[in-house]
Structures are given as C-alpha cells and as structure tokens.
Structure 1
Amino acid sequence: MKFLSGFIGLLLCAMITGPAATAADHKEQPHWTIIHAGTLMTDAREEVRREQSILIKNDRIEEIRPGYVMPEELDQVSEADIIDLRDQFVMPGMIDSHTHVTMEISKNSRLEAVTLTEADYAIMGVPFARRILAAGFTTIRNVGGPRDGIFALRDGINKGLIQGPRILAAGYTISPLGGHGDTNGFRHGVIEPDSGICNGADDCRRAVREQIKFGADVIKYVATGGVLSNIAAGTGQQFTDAEQRAIVETAHSMGRKVAAHAHGADGINAALKAGVDSIEHGTYLDKESIKLFKKTGAYHVPTVLAGITAAEMAEIPGTLPPASVDKARKVGPQIMEALSRSYKSGVKIAFGTDSGVSKHGINGRELELMVEAGMPERAVLEAATVNAADLLGLADEIGTLEKGKVADIIAARGNPLEDISTLRTPSFVMARGKAFVR
C-alpha cells in the first residue's frame, strides 16, 4: 500500500509538472527575417541609403545595418529568411487616410443598399482589403461604412484570420438628417436611419458616443454636402457651428480624432474652427481656410482620385443619380486645384484616395495625381508615410523604418523619387512582418 501510495504521488506530480516543463523546453523561438535592400528610404524626409540590411524579429524591426548581413554574422540569430531586394527601392508601407473598403460605387450601389446586409459588406471587404494591401498600402483609415461590417473586417485582420492592411475604422458617418451622410431618395420605411444621423448639438454628442461604444477608432462627420449623395443640396455647410463643436469636443474628450468631409469654404472653415484633425477633400478652400489650417495644424486629405473618378462617372449615363451628376462635373476638376493651393501655402498634407469611389487596388494613382498638382515626389511620399502616420496617431508604430517599429515594408523596381508611377504596382509588400507580395 505504501508503494502504491508513493507511485500514485509520483504520477500526480508528473501530471502536474510535466506539461509546464514541456512547454518551457519547447518555448517558441523568434522568427527572424533579413531584407537586403539595394536602395533604402527609411524616412521620406531624409536621403536614401545604399546596400542596407533590415533585421526583423517577428513583426518588429530589430536593427538596420549597412551592408548585406547574413545570419551567421549575428550572435542572436541561428537562422533567418533572406529576402533579396538588392536591385530594388525599399521604403515604409504606405498609408491611405481615406477609404471605404467594404464597398465600391457602381450602377448597382442603390440596389445593394436595400438588398445587402452588413455581413455581406464585410465579405465584400475581404478581397477589397487584399487589393489595397497588394497595392502597397499596409494601413488604411476607413471613414464611414456599415459599422458591424467594417469592425468585423478590421478585427479579422488584426487576429490574422484575413489578409489585409491595418484598419482604423470610423463606423457610421455622423450626418444631419437628410444630409450627405443620410440615405436619401428611398421610399419612407425602406431604409431605417443608422445611429450616425443626428440633429442638434446634444443629439450629435449621442451619435459620436454611440460609434465609440461599438468600437470606432476615429470619428468622421459631414461638415458640408457631398457629390455622391442623392440630394440636390449643393456642397455648402450642413451641420451648424454648434453641432460641429459638439461633435469634435465629444470625440476628443473620448480620445478619438475627427475627420470632416468638407467641400464648401463655409463648412471647411467651420470645421477647422471647431478643431477637427483633418479636412477631407477641401475642394473650395479659401484664404481663411489656409490661415485656419496653419493655425490649428489640421491636415488636408485631398482625395484627388475621387474627384477625377466622380467626374468620369458623371459622363457615363445611369452611373450616378441625376442629383449627383452636376455636382460631380463641378467638384471633380476643382479638387486638384485645391491641393495645389494648400500645398503651396504650407498646409500639412496627408495621403487619401476615397477608395470605394475609385476602384480598390488602384490607390497608387493618387500619388501620380498629387505630382500633377505640383507636389514633388518626396513630398508626396512624405504625405503617404510620415504625415499620414502622424494624422492617424500611429507615428510611434509606422511611417518610417527604424528599430522598434512595425515591419510594414514595400519595394519597387524603379525609383519613386524620380518616377512616382513605379509605386502603382509594388514588387514587394510586407505587413506586420509577413510577406504578402514577394
């Protein structure tokens, strides 16, 4: 009996301690990747380096060294994946600050609004997200869309279940009843208004808090009318000054930045006075707008591609509802001029396409349009990396390549500082330490 008791005791001890010991013995080893970069731009504000090695531990940059380093030269690395980009231009992953990744505008968009569920939109977002990532955009800010759909897509990417760019999502757009962010032109009762629709300062505070309650990373609201809404209300101010102050104050008090859709100068200026972090589009900005931009430090996210795309859609019969056609013809060409004016005046510019109006995956065309508007290539790359990271509040994580930052890295076969179009189709894309295009 004593022998049996002792045996059982040893067996129980082994059962208790065995798995822990096994887990300790088989502790997961870090995964190392070494990128050999022929030309390396670690920061768009600085000169490029030649013949560099980027050492990546799991999803973070551990070190950047001169020369082409091999694993056997490193004390802490026994083996590593070597990625040979010695004949390419390597740089930080780009950031698109204005997307709608769960949809694309088409002739069927109004029908889809009454036939698709939020789950459908989430599923549609999966291939769209992959296209955006393949285009070299490793982070996006989604400024309005089906709330449950975009949050599910964002979370699925964060968990590694879906391949796509990092997403900061706004949930529903905050809009006045009947305004640009509302669903207009349908018979009463066909579509129920979402929780982003509000009237009066107090109700607008409620709308902001509700988006945050369900998981919004950022708040987006419509300071003015818009092009693609089916309402002939023009592009002037829609929310009152008091409503805009309530939206911005509430969001900021809860730790969220605010993006304001704004075309008309009256709405742009009201939004800037309210303290927004960025103006999206900024089509009819004026001298006062420029002063307010520089005073507040807000970013201009120009979305030239959206303006050009909307103008093209206006010429294809049946693509846009009649209320949108005239607005598209007027606003489209003006957006590039607005970017030119704001850049020359020293306004901070962050890259954004309004992808979803344009096709997902051609986001890089905005780079070329920004150059056409008069921005030097280096300034465009700064807008798509350093500035966009700052706007999103992620400058400590992304936007440049340096020790401790996330390994979001892309490459091109040409030199985008000389020919920006070489980034239209990147030759290599790595997101969070994992190669997606190789």
Structure 2
Amino acid sequence: MAIPSALHLRGVLLDGTAEGEHVGELWVTAEGRISLDPVPDAETVADGGWILPGLVDAHCHVGIGPDGPVDLEEARAQGHVDAASGALLLRDCGSPIDTSPLDDDPRMPEILRAGRHLARPKRYIRGLPIDVEPDELPAAVAATARANPWVKLVGDWIEREAGDLAPLWPDDVLRAAIDAAHAEGARVTAHVFGEDALPGLIGAGIDGIEHGTGLTDETIAMMVERGTVLVPTMINVENFPGFADAAGEKFPRYGAHMRDLYRRAPGRIAAAIEAGVPVFAGTDAGGGIGHGQIVDEIVALAGVGLGPARALAAACGDARTWLGRPGLVDGAPADLVVATDDPRVDPEVLRAPTLVLRAGVSLR
C-alpha cells in the first residue's frame, strides 16, 4: 500500500557492494525519496537489521510467458512478483510487447529496456524477435538504440541444416551494428550459448554476453581485455538438459552440444570470475524461468566462485553502478530492502525480507 507519511529506518546501511557499510539511519519523504537528513514526524518502520539498495535482476523478460508473448496485465503481474522479491531494478533483455505503460504502476520495479530481440528470420523463438537480414541489422540496432538504453542481439541459435548452434551474424555486420548503437548512446548485449559466436561479438566491441556457457580461455581473455561483462543466468542453465531432451532424434548434434555445455558451465563461469570478467546476476525470468527468483541466482553465483558477498554485490550495489542507477543516496528513489541478518554472509536471508520499499511504497 502507499505510505501516507514520512518513514524512518535505522540499522546497518549497506551500499550493496562487498564491503561498504555503516551503522546509521535514513528517512523516506512523502514523495518516496531518500533523505539523509531527519524528516519531521517520520514513522520508524525499521529499527535494526541490514538495509540495502533494491536488488537487481540484470537479465529479465517482462512480457514473455511459457507460451510466448503475454498481454500487458500478465506482464504487470510478472513485474509485481519481481518487485515483491526485492528485485526493484530490472534490465529487460528483450520483450515482444511494450511494457512502458506499466511505468506509472507504483508496485512495478524500475525497468531498463532493450526493446525486442533482433534475430535473423527463422533463427530464434517464433513471435519474440524482430527478424532482420544481416544487411538490415545496423539500421535496426540504431532504431532500437534510439528508444532504449540497451539492444539485445541473438548471437547464436540452432541452425537447422547444421543441426547445431551457429552464429547469426558476420563479423563486419556486428562491428557496424554495435558502432551504430554506441553512436546513439546505447549498449549492446547478446544471447550466446555456444563457442563459435563469441569471438566475433567480443571483437566487435559488444558490451555484454548473456549465458556465456561456451566461453573458452581465449574468449575469457578477450572479455577481460575489453571490459565485456557477463550475465551467466546460472539458474536457467539448469534447463539445458531439458533443451537437449526436447531436441530428440531430430537434432542429435545440438542435444549432445547442450549437454556438454551444461556439464562444463560451472567451470567456465568460475574461470571467467577468476580471470576478472565483471559478472552480474540475472535470472532469465520469462525465458524458461519464473519471476521472483533473484535470490536463487545470487546463491548460485556464490557457489560458482563469487562467494556470498561478491554475489550479493553482483545483484545490488555493483550492478546498480554498472547500470547507472543510485543506491542509498540522498534524493534517490527509496528503493530498498531490509533483512534480519547480514546478506553478505548468508544471501538466504533475502528470501524473507522484513521490508521492501519501491519509491516509498511498501511491497511486503
């Protein structure tokens, strides 16, 4: 429900990184903004506990359901689930519907959008992407970039004649397309499961790789050199054996490849972390994963090499800095989560927060 008066919170204030903290207090104005100066007549709603910025799901799809595109009201329900889980900032990595009319809903998370996926005809899930031929990609990317802070490419997908994953775009087209996005002030990321598309995408200057299960030592080194980020969607990688089973006898090479990628994924992601690739938390909600599971992804990243404190940062303060959104600073929207214990020690405490505020609106 909406909060009619100013609020007061006292506890351990975390900046959402692995280390930053101090015992203190903050206030929330009636307009839903953080104030570090006392606000008269504020109601104390948290006295003790750990107070941290709202969580970030850096790979989410509001507008996609199990059977493809959903209507706006179902998309609203998806966003409500994410926000109630503490994920108050989403990077929507491709949606077939325009969800911007939901921005006025006080229970929706903040959404940074990538428009629709861009793919070659018949090389991605029907009904989700804008289909373009390679020579049309730079213009399509530029158009998406003018309307969104991100652009989402499909970097690889099953090629039916080959019967396996294959890149969608020539290297020269990728360079032109990514340059076009950057000229418009947007960043570009790409869905990539396998190995072969990665050198071209990273070499073309792409800003991010989604999934990245096919990373090699060479492409990890390229990412480190160029500062390319990785959002590995660990909990969605658990679907790979099911994808392989669904391929059946029709695409045996693809099925075997997906099982091999699944087997090697934890080690490859751990190698990227060890090498210094920036890693952020994303669930792939809507892409085979239900909404509201950001804590599952934090726990998975902790287990694959980040550890609990850095995994939390990958879904909180560090992710907010990467996406250009504020934390618990004066004047920022009051998007915050309150936990009973230190989530840098045990992220599981975030499954039952005592308070979630979205711009001063209580969601729990």
Q: Provide the TM-score with structure 1 as the length reference.
A: 0.74
Match of 2:155 among 220, 223, 233: 223
Provide the C-alpha distance between the structure 2 equivalents of 1:230 and 1:388, rounded to a whole number of angstroms.
37
The answer to whether the aligner puts 1:198 opposite 2:143 as a matched pair is no
Question: Per the alignment, do residues 358 and 43 of structure 1 end up closer, same or farther by CA in structure 2, a change over 3 Å counting?
Answer: closer
Which of 164, 173, 176 matches 2:120?
Answer: 176
Q: In the aligned structure 2, how far is the partner of 1:182 from the partner of 1:207?
A: 18
Residues 150 and 186 in structure 2, CA contact (< 8 A), matched pair in contact too: yes
Instruction: Give 3-state SS (helix, strand or coil) of 2:17's partner.
Output: coil
Partner Cα distance (1:182, 1:270) in 2: 22
Structure with more strand by fraction = 2
Tell me the CA shift for residue 175 of structure 1.
1.0
Tell me if the contact between 2:247 and 2:255 (Cα under 8 Å) persists in the aligned partners. no
Query: Are residues 62 and 350 of structure 1, via their aligned partners in 2, closer, same or farther at CA, if it must alter by over 3 Å?
Result: same
Which of 277, 283, 299 matches 2:229? 299
C-alpha contact 2:335 2:360 (8 A) present in aligned 1: yes
One-letter code aligned to 2:42? A
SS at match of 1:84: strand
2:64 maps to which of 87, 95, 103: 103
Q: Give 1:376-387 correspondences, 5 Å limit.
A: 376-387=307-318
- Count matched residues: 357
In structure 2, relative to structure 1, the CA distance for the partners of 1:48 and 1:123 (3 Å cut) is: same
Q: Which runs of 4+ in 1 moved over 6 A?
A: 229-232, 318-322
- Residue aligned with 2:148, SS: coil
Displacement of 1:313 in angstroms is 6.4
Pairing 1:354–2:284 present: yes
**Conserved 8 A contact 1:307-1:328:** no
Q: Which residue of 2 aligns with 1:431?
A: 358
Q: Secondary structure at the match of 2:305?
A: coil
The residue that corresponds to 2:8 in the other structure is 34
SS in 1 for 2:356: strand
Q: Flag the 1:320–1:98 CA change in 2: closer, same or farther, 3 A.
A: farther
Where in structure 1 are there 5+ consecutive unaligned residues? 1-29, 65-73, 184-190
For the structure 1 residues 240 and 350, does the alpha-carbon distance in structure 2 shift closer, same or farther, using more than 3 Å as the test? same
Secondary structure of residue in 1 paired with 2:329: coil
The residue correspondences of 1:13-32 to structure 2 (distance < 5 A) are 32=6
Kindly report which structure 2 residues correspond to 1:9-408, keeping only aligned pairs within 5 A, or say none. 32-37=6-11, 39-50=12-23, 52-57=24-29, 58-63=31-36, 74=38, 77-86=39-48, 88-105=49-66, 109=67, 113=68, 120-146=70-96, 149=97, 151=98, 153-156=99-102, 158-160=103-105, 163-179=107-123, 181-183=124-126, 196-201=130-135, 203-212=136-145, 215-225=147-157, 233-311=163-241, 323=251, 326=256, 328-356=258-286, 357-392=288-323, 394=324, 397-398=325-326, 400-408=327-335
Amino acid at match of 1:83: V
Cα distance between partner residues in 2 of 1:382 and 1:175: 32
**SS state of the match for residue 76, structure 2?**
helix
Structure 2 gap ranges (5+): none
Greater relative CO, 1 or 2 (CA 8 Å, sep 6+) = 2
Q: TM-score if structure 2 supplies the norm length?
A: 0.88
1:413 aligns with 2:345: no
Q: Counterparts of 1:407 and 1:321 in 2: how far apart (Å)?
A: 52
SS for the counterpart of 2:363 is strand
Percent identical pairs in the alignment equals 23
Change (3 A) 1:176 1:313: closer
Task: Specify the code of the residue in structure 2 equivalent to 1:127.
Answer: A
- The 3-state SS of whatever aligns with 2:50 is strand
Opposite residue 386 of structure 1, the aligned amino acid is G
